[in-house]
Structure 1
Amino acid sequence: MSSFLDLGVPTKLAAALADLGITTPFPIQSATLPDSLAGRDVLGRGRTGSGKTFAFVLPVLARLAESKSPRRPMRPRALILAPTRELATQIEATIAPLAATLGLRTLTVFGGVGANPQIKGLKAGVDVLVACPGRLADHIQQGYASLDAVEITVLDEADHMADLGFLPVVRRLMDGTPREGQRMLFSATLDGGVDVLVKRFMHKPVTHHVDSAAEAPIEMTHHVLHVRHDDRFPVLVDLTAAPGRTVVFTRTKRRAKTLTRQLVQAGVPAVELHGNLAQNARNRNMAAFSDGSAQTLVATDIAARGIHVDDVAIVIHADPPVEHKAYLHRSGRTARAGAQGTVITLMTDDQQSEVRDLTRKAGIKPTTSKARPGDALLAQLAPGERTYSAPVSPVAEPIEESNGGGQPRRGRPSGTRGAA
């Protein structure tokens, strides 16, 4: 098996990786690094958790370190675009320590926080700018940033940018970068609107399909629990009260907020993550989930792309997603980087056809079982002693209908501990 040095990663950068305990390249890295380090345009497809971030971070840093171009105010030398604040923050956390070893400066810009610190950083000059499209476009419009010195542009989760309607602003941003610059695009899928970006901005790209985004990784085990409507919440409480980190997905922001409150009332430490939260609340909730003070994170599909926390044992689809790509992206929060993980979908009678179609398109064959609260099967899927921070009253707060984010079926619970 090739090492990072064998693939062309500079010695200093490979040593910095080794200091972080990273010595063996993942398949997506082994496939793309020879081309990206040589300056070629690269299309890299690998499932979530496959190591895509290092696959573009390493060539960006290596090529900038070799470049003779100077760092200039408000003119970044490399641009990494990400669709969500969480993903941008996590890319920054990956790239910053490696950049520091090479004497390179990084900056992250996104909405939901004050612009002044970002403007100050841009004026000071940065080598690598990690950005969400909207806030970066604002800075450019106000004259605080220009992309005319960008040597390397990376689009991460490009298919998600297309899904969120970001393509027009992404096109405008990329139009502002030099045509001769290197472009890399990494995503779990390379279809739909992504083709527009490829045809318009990439020059003879080398495409690497390391694994199919339509196939679930073998490290995951997939289960569908056929439950009665009134049993959905007590079954969810049983699963989330087990030891270890659990991510629960809902279809709507309102439902994520409500379900978080209900879990906390039931004695399960839980926090929420969705687009209605201010950035400080997002940071606080993600910190609580990461440090273990909240063992359950309740999130929406959009937030799914930005969650990268190690050792997530279980992903639960409290609401089956609308499309199979969302199922795969949600499920990718567990079984990351070769670890084991369990994916559970809660299904009621009226969702059987929907879930059957969803799993077929996702290319998985889940184990389907009927489940009631207290069944031994729940302890098998989520082993360990259940712990609660308050007495559990599972039938008092049934969860909402899954088809619209309307009012709960009963009275709304009161405030949430640990959630914004």
Structure 2
Amino acid sequence: MSEGRSEHAQSRRSPRRRSGRQGNSSRPQQRVEEPIVAEHFESTLPEGPLPSFAELGLADALIKSLVANEITEPFPIQAATLPDAMAGKDILGRGQTGSGKTLAFGLAMLTRLASGRSMPHKPRGLILVPTRELAMQVETALMPHARSLGLWCRVVVGGTSFPRQIEHLRRGVDLLIATPGRLSDHVRQGTCDLGSVEITALDEADQMADMGFMPQVRAILDLTPQDGQRLLFSATLDGDVDKLVRQYLHSPVTHSVAPSTASVTTMEHHLLFVSAEDKQNVVTEVAAREGRTIMFVRTKHHVDRLAKKLRSVGVAAGALHGGKAQSARTRVLGEFREGTTPVLIATDVAARGIHVDDVSLVVHVDPPADPKDYLHRAGRTARAGQSGTVVTLVTHDQRRAVQGMAQRAGIRPESTKVRPGDDDLVRITGARTPSGEPLIEREKPARRSGGSGGRRFGAPAAGGGRGEYRGGSGRRTEGGGEFRGGPRRSERTEGGRGFGRPERSSAGRPRRAPQH
């Protein structure tokens, strides 16, 4: 064993002394004094050939599980972060979307949790994510590797059965994957105790800040042990994320494998100038192309309207936004992944964290509001070294704003004026004329009284529930938020509530979940 490997082996034990003290939400945890700025977040790509998973120190059981899932070599962000994370150090990480961040923090967490056992309602590891879809994706990525070590990871998110989540927590969860809103519900109701959390990961921290989750995130971190390990991954380090790093990370080791701009060499960027009159026909021809395509629009209403329009002319398009029930969102994403629905129309609820292989084209039907939104949407293509194209449709009145946004995003797009049927439109996007034969719409289930997927405190949903709740005058918002009755706010906007007055149980007695 080389000297460097020997030092690494010795460093596998956490340098921290675990006092067993619980976090204290009444006293801020000021832990980092030096300023954290984006300029200091430099690339830390390992030099030379990347080490193997075995050389990084992963257990044989994990390596076999990775091979069984056709993962044989680490990505750069994994090679950079795994040694420090497994050594117990706090990590501040950044990598372009699709760079393998989930396994970068997930494998380290599983390694550190492998030797212990969780007690009822007391998870030992915690992953916080901004959206339901990302939580489920993280569970899918980590579950087979957790099982190889005899560990259990579970998801706690809105839109799914609260009683079933209680039962999972009661049986013991080693690694809990959660959105801040639903985890706050469990903490308030006493069904989840965070005092035994040894290691916490925050994925897409900047998106959680954008969605107003920071008060909840801070309240959650205050309830974890002060000497616990923290891993934070974010595309940017400004504003609330910078404050979070200063307050909760202890001498973090920074790792980055990509700048926070869209300078991915395998990604092409285009501005397509269209007239307002031609825009709909251009969108239709682009949607009729071969291959997986994601089209982003601004509002839920526009998503539904465009998907219906495309299906009426023979394009198999699915609609995804925060106003849909979780079961519908899961079904649409599943069909998109399988390729039975090759076109996904979405709001920004799908702009980050959703990994679908072989998305070759991203279309900004409605130009994004700012550079960050552009980069997050664009990141749905050209993932993990694949190639992809990003197209923004620009009408005359949008030209100046979109060109300025592109410059701030750090891209130099090719600008082309197009009309329906143009050779340039075909060259850039693969556009073609749709069949014109309407697709048969699915029969929609009967709508329950009071709306579907809503929430009424103190009473189960009609018909037994399935984790869906009725809400009075509540409303849905984007971002995967829960639908809360009355004056309560959604999961996306309830960030300022912290852990206030406990809510009444939203369902009756817990139903038994299948045995592990």
Scaled by the length of structure 2, the TM-score of the pair is 0.74
SS at 2:327's partner residue? helix
Asked if the contact 1:41–1:202 (Cα under 8 Å) also holds between the matched residues in 2, the reply is yes
**Cα-to-partner distance string for 1:343-366 (whole Å, 9 max, x where unaligned):** 110000001011101110111101
Q: CA–CA distance in 1 between the matches of 2:431 and 2:307?
A: 22
1:64-83 counterparts in 2 under 5 A? Answer: 64-65=113-114, 67=115, 69-83=116-130
**Structure 1's 256 and 39: CA in aligned 2 closer, same or farther, altered over 3 A?**
same
Tell me the CA shift for residue 266 of structure 1: 2.4
Query: Size of the alignment, in residue pairs?
Result: 396
Partner residue in 2 for 1:244 = 291
**Which of 130, 139, 148 matches 1:101?**
148
**Which of 304, 309, 327 matches 1:280?**
327
**Which of 332, 337, 352 matches 2:384?**
337
Whichever residue aligns with residue 176 of structure 2, its letter is L
**Structure 1's 418 and 7: CA in aligned 2 closer, same or farther, altered over 3 A?**
farther
Partner residue in 1 for 2:8 = none
Q: CA–CA distance in 1 between the matches of 2:264 and 2:334?
A: 27
1:3-402 counterparts in 2 under 5 A? Answer: 3-65=52-114, 67=115, 69-383=116-430, 387-388=434-435, 390=437
Q: CA–CA distance in 1 between the matches of 2:276 and 2:399?
A: 13
Asked if the contact 2:394–2:402 (Cα under 8 Å) also holds between the matched residues in 1, the reply is yes
**Structure 1's 234 and 197: CA in aligned 2 closer, same or farther, altered over 3 A?**
same
Tell me the CA shift for residue 216 of structure 1: 2.7
SS at 1:308's partner residue? coil
**Cα-to-partner distance string for 1:293-348 (whole Å, 9 max, x where unaligned):** 21111111132124211111100000110110110000000111000111110000
Asked if the contact 1:269–1:295 (Cα under 8 Å) also holds between the matched residues in 2, the reply is yes
Tell me the CA shift for residue 386 of structure 1: 5.3
**Cα-to-partner distance string for 1:268-296 (whole Å, 9 max, x where unaligned):** 11111111111011011111111112111
**Structure 1's 152 and 419: CA in aligned 2 closer, same or farther, altered over 3 A?**
farther
Q: CA–CA distance in 2 between the matches of 1:252 and 1:288?
A: 22
Whichever residue aligns with residue 421 of structure 2, its letter is G
Larger displacement relative to structure 2 (106-115 or 373-382):
373-382
Asked if the contact 2:375–2:409 (Cα under 8 Å) also holds between the matched residues in 1, the reply is yes
Tell me the CA shift for residue 385 of structure 1: 6.2
Asked if the contact 2:285–2:434 (Cα under 8 Å) also holds between the matched residues in 1, the reply is no
**Cα-to-partner distance string for 1:375-415 (whole Å, 9 max, x where unaligned):** 112222233865536169xxxxxxxxxxxxxxxxxxxxxx9
Asked if the contact 2:287–2:431 (Cα under 8 Å) also holds between the matched residues in 1, the reply is no
Partner residue in 1 for 2:466 = none
SS at 1:140's partner residue? helix
Q: CA–CA distance in 1 between the matches of 2:339 and 2:262?
A: 31
Larger displacement relative to structure 2 (229-238 or 253-262):
253-262
Q: CA–CA distance in 2 between the matches of 1:235 and 1:223?
A: 14
Tell me the CA shift for residue 11 of structure 1: 2.2
**Cα-to-partner distance string for 1:101-148 (whole Å, 9 max, x where unaligned):** 110011001001221111110001010000001001101111110100
Unaligned runs of 5+ in 1: 393-414
Whichever residue aligns with residue 67 of structure 2, its letter is A
SS at 1:126's partner residue? coil
TM-align CA RMSD: 1.7
Q: Which has a greater percent of helix?
A: 1
Whichever residue aligns with residue 249 of structure 1, its letter is F
Asked if the contact 1:270–1:418 (Cα under 8 Å) also holds between the matched residues in 2, the reply is no
**Structure 1's 74 and 21: CA in aligned 2 closer, same or farther, altered over 3 A?**
same
Q: CA–CA distance in 2 between the matches of 1:291 and 1:419?
A: 21
Tell me the CA shift for residue 174 of structure 1: 0.7
Whichever residue aligns with residue 120 of structure 1, its letter is E
Tell me the CA shift for residue 222 of structure 1: 0.6
Tell me the CA shift for residue 198 of structure 1: 0.7
Whichever residue aligns with residue 59 of structure 2, its letter is P
Q: CA–CA distance in 1 between the matches of 2:340 and 2:395?
A: 31
Q: CA–CA distance in 1 between the matches of 2:262 and 2:234?
A: 14
* Structure with max Cα Rg: 2
Tell me the CA shift for residue 52 of structure 1: 0.8
Partner residue in 1 for 2:503 = none
Asked if the contact 2:284–2:434 (Cα under 8 Å) also holds between the matched residues in 1, the reply is no
Asked if the contact 2:288–2:431 (Cα under 8 Å) also holds between the matched residues in 1, the reply is no
Asked if the contact 1:7–1:34 (Cα under 8 Å) also holds between the matched residues in 2, the reply is yes
**Structure 1's 344 and 289: CA in aligned 2 closer, same or farther, altered over 3 A?**
same
Whichever residue aligns with residue 243 of structure 2, its letter is V
Q: CA–CA distance in 2 between the matches of 1:17 and 1:94?
A: 10
Task: Determine what percentage of the aligned residue pairs are the same residue.
Answer: 51
Q: CA–CA distance in 1 between the matches of 2:435 and 2:128?
A: 41
Unaligned runs of 5+ in 2: 1-48, 446-516
